[in-house]
Structure 1
Amino acid sequence: MTERGFSDVAVQSAHAFRAIMKAMARPGRVLEIGADLEAPEPLLASTAAVALTLCDFQTPIWLAPDLDIDKVVHYLRFHAGAPITSEPDKAQFLFATLEQMPPALPLLMQGTHEYPDRSATLVIQVPGFSSDAVKLSGPGIHDREPFGVVGLGASFWTAMADNHARFPVGIDVIFAAPGLVAALPRSTEIRLLESA
């Protein structure tokens, strides 16, 4: 296998962790993740950085069928030690693409009111970002933040608005584009631009 993980695990994973946490704290803010690693196609380096930073042997992950190929599975098992599950509702992290998303969001791990942290995080690999889909508001957002993801339609944003309505349970979402990340925690209110 020619693809390598972080060039300096301690330093690079710390940088990636800070970028991911800053994205979670500032929903809709697009940030550079700056990961110095090589990932097997079709896994983006930014997606791999999220996996290698947040996943370990205790975090089962689900891969969309177009990512669930031998070289990606081997890479994630070798560098993150994470077990792969074929059952989306058993995964703490789910890695999806625009073409192949997991089943309905309410079927994923939602956490409970006593333990809201026992929920899933959905990581979606995307081509890029825009500002023409929704307005975000809530914790970490000064005013209404315009946000969009290239290729994601209204049905996704409606599902995420429903996800917010279940707060404090629900899932969190991280978007990974080439070299970039953005996040949409369940605490974020979402309004389609037409009704913003």
Structure 2
Amino acid sequence: SLVAAVDRLKDTFCRQHALDLIFTEEGDSSLTADMYINMDKNVEELASLPSPIFQELFVKLNRMASLTADMFAGRERFATLLSMRLTETVILWLSEDQSFWDDIEEGPRPLGPMGLQQFYLDIKFVSCFAAQGRYLSRNLNRVLNEIINKAVQAFSSTGMDPDRVLPEDEWFIEVCHEAMERLSGKPKAIDGDRELNSPTASGSAQSISSVST
């Protein structure tokens, strides 16, 4: 049927774009546990920006939304579903990447405070931009929560308290919205509180706010 054909096309499209994001031309992964584990060796202060792969995902989704809005005028639902499918494909890949989680949970070097903060920021960033784009599906939200929980538990197993190293959720939300504005080329609002109090921000805050407690 036409519906099944369109679904297959969406799956193929999203899988290809996800692979382009996750792997370099040489076949190396752009999303590894070492990205986070090495931070505590190399970084003294959190950079206040999501990792490059998640910035690239956001930019790609923005570009895709603009293109589909032009190509499928009046079919905004299709564009939203495409964005949701691509985001889910990337996040499910991360969730199911056994070598990533083996390194995080049982690797020779533990996940440190900086690495946990960066990972939390990256996942919160996905939650924020998906909520803003109205494609934070129940399934995506569930997987994002599970991923955060796994990282927090791995950190806790080293004997450290995640609550002592993770800033308040409001800090993460503010950083995420600043990153979205910067990457989408939109000027920052004059009223700085507007972003934190927006329905989207508070909704996405609630989505992961309980996991680190």
TM-score, normalised with respect to structure 1: 0.30
TM-score, normalised with respect to structure 2: 0.28
Which has the larger strand fraction?
1
Larger Rg: 2
Which has the larger helix fraction?
2
